[in-house]
Amino acid sequence: MNAQWAFFLIAFVGVGSWVYEAAAQDNRMAIADTMPDGFPRVAAVHALTQGPKVHFCNYYGIFPWDATGRYVVCIESDFDGREVRAEDTARVCLVDTETGELRALAVTRAWNFQQGALAHWLGTAPDREIIYNDCVDGAARSVILDVHSGERRELPRAVSAVAHDGKLAACISYARLNKTRPGYGYPGVHEATTDDPHPDNDGLYVMDLASGESRLIVTIDRVFRDRPPPEGRADDVMWFNHVLFNRDDTRIFFLARFKSPVGSLLSAAYTVNPDGSDLRCVVPYEWNNSHYDWRDAKQLMVTSRFQGGSKWLHVLFTDGATDHRPIAPDVLDRDGHCHFSPDGRWLVSDSYPQGPERMQRLFIGDMETEQVREVARFHQPDTFKRDWRCDLHPRWSRDGKRLCIDSTHEGTRQVYLVELAWPES
């Protein structure tokens, strides 16, 4: 088997209810020894990519696997440990999970360590076509690429989210995003932008992926006027970030954001129809908002300071309703990257590094019983921080049987597969 396909040893030394990899004397990774009845357990964690080059996938919640389950799309960088600059390039790569072969498909100048180039497999051809972002002559673009034939087509806007059926994309200004939140925008993009704190000519766009035609469906000014901004923020620059289609592509989620005086984020969550109608504020600024996922066409989860409280909780609710409630607040008591399995039954989330060992925690939850359990921990070296930190960013496979994460517990940023052992039905 190709040396690039390196498995972790599945020999562990028990420590209480946790087991540690025998070869890792510094306890870089730990796996929960027992799980409640009906819960999956982590059976193995193995590296899909290896150093010395850096590899990671394209944000949490985006399927890295193609429709066959054989190929995984990821990003490859020659450096780590600093911010991405305008002149830096990365490669969009394809990993063959059967042979371990990694193949570079394209070079991009529109990328960052948090979201990669936002590469998605297209629902119109999920066994062969991806769409990813690039920067062409200082302008943000997206490219549809056939990973097997190499045929490519350029589109006039960079994507932020892609509809599951592969027909539409939701787009935002990456020049404005880079100005307001470096680490998520693209420093090489020089699109026309403005210092207007809430312009009426920028915001959320929807682009037809067949024709490339796009239109502005929600302006920043419209959202600004929808409800008063946080106190003292009326003259500050507002922007949109973190966009996602619901499961049947009939609604789009996005965050409207300001910065606080000390630089922290103040966010309200919105949903809207793809034609721009029926705009709804679903979580207010007072709660703040961070991460998100749709469980189905109507129900979604947002991590927020529920009812203005002090803790970040995973809050489940129905789009347009007032039935917000935290899920497992005794376990999920910190911000995390929540992602639902394709059938909506299972939740996966994570945590930022905690404690002197800087362990990132991985959680799985059963949405039928609303029980959540910590299933694994991964060490993150303290050199990974700021805009180049490495979140686990968990993602379910298309069949909902295993997970994919990014991790630095072996010292370099790489892509790992988490194999789950499921109880017999």
| Least confident piece of the model among 103-107, 355-359, 369-373 | 355-359
**DSSP letter at 123?**
T
Q: What angle do CA 257, 259, 265 make, to 5 degrees?
A: 70
Contact 268, 285 (CB under 8 A): yes
The answer on pLDDT for 1 being more than 50 is: no
Q: For position 86, what pLDDT does the model report?
A: 94
Q: For position 263, what pLDDT does the model report?
A: 74
| Least confident piece of the model among 26-35, 70-79, 276-285, 359-368 | 26-35
Q: For position 350, what pLDDT does the model report?
A: 98
The predicted-structure confidence for 312-337, as pLDDT tens digits, reads as follows 999 999 999 999 999 999 999 999 99
**Cis-peptide, bond into residue 126, ω within 30° of zero:** no
Amino acid at residue number 404: C
Contact 222, 203 (CB under 8 A): yes
The predicted-structure confidence for 232-247, as pLDDT tens digits, reads as follows 888 888 999 999 999 9
DSSP bridge partners of 162: 169
Q: For position 44, what pLDDT does the model report?
A: 95
The answer on pLDDT for 25 being more than 70 is: no
Residue 46 lies in a domain: yes
Give CA–CA dist 21/412, Å, rounded: 17
Return the SS3 of 306: helix
- Exposed, middle or buried: residue 381 (CB in 10 Å: 0-12, 13-18, 19+)? middle
The answer on pLDDT for 150 being more than 80 is: yes
Half-sphere exposure for 261 (CA within 13 Å, toward CB): 2
The predicted-structure confidence for 374-409, as pLDDT tens digits, reads as follows 999 999 999 898 889 999 999 999 999 999 999 999
The answer on pLDDT for 276 being more than 70 is: yes
Q: Which residue has the tokens 């680490």?
A: 183
Summary mean pLDDT of the chain: 91
What's the whole-number mean pLDDT along residues 286-306? 96
The answer on pLDDT for 76 being more than 80 is: yes
The parent domain of residue 399 ranges over: 1-52+337-425
Q: For position 9, what pLDDT does the model report?
A: 31
The answer on pLDDT for 7 being more than 90 is: no
What's the whole-number mean pLDDT along residues 37-43? 94
Q: How many domains does the chain have?
A: 1
Percent of the chain's residues with pLDDT above 70: 93
The answer on pLDDT for 16 being more than 70 is: no
Q: Is the dihedral of CA 411, 413, 414, 415 positive or negative?
A: positive
Report how far apart, in Å, the C-alpha atoms of 35 and of each of 148, 173, 377 are.
Answer: 41, 44, 15
Give CA–CA dist 113/81, Å, rounded: 10
Name the CA dihedral angle for 75, 73, 189, 136, rounded to a multiple of 10 degrees.
Answer: 110
The answer on pLDDT for 303 being more than 50 is: yes
Contact 294, 246 (CB under 8 A): yes
Residue 287 lies in a domain: no
Residue 324 lies in a domain: no
User: In angstroms, how far is CA 282 from the centroid of its own chain?
Assistant: 20
The answer on pLDDT for 261 being more than 90 is: no
Residue 239 lies in a domain: no
The predicted-structure confidence for 211-224, as pLDDT tens digits, reads as follows 999 999 999 999 99
Amino acid at residue number 74: C
The answer on pLDDT for 146 being more than 50 is: yes
- Exposed, middle or buried: residue 406 (CB in 10 Å: 0-12, 13-18, 19+)? buried
Residue 383 lies in a domain: yes
Residue 419 lies in a domain: yes
Give CA–CA dist 270/224, Å, rounded: 12
The answer on pLDDT for 280 being more than 60 is: yes
Give CA–CA dist 213/200, Å, rounded: 19
Give CA–CA dist 26/20, Å, rounded: 9
Residue 28 lies in a domain: yes
Nearest to 407 by CA among 152, 28, 75: 28
Q: For position 250, what pLDDT does the model report?
A: 98
The predicted-structure confidence for 77-98, as pLDDT tens digits, reads as follows 999 999 999 999 999 999 999 9
Q: For position 19, what pLDDT does the model report?
A: 59
Percent of the chain's residues with pLDDT above 90: 82
The answer on pLDDT for 296 being more than 80 is: yes
Residue 122 lies in a domain: no
Which band of pLDDT confidence, cut at 50, 70 and 90, is reported for residue 371?
very high
The answer on pLDDT for 342 being more than 80 is: yes
The answer on pLDDT for 18 being more than 60 is: no
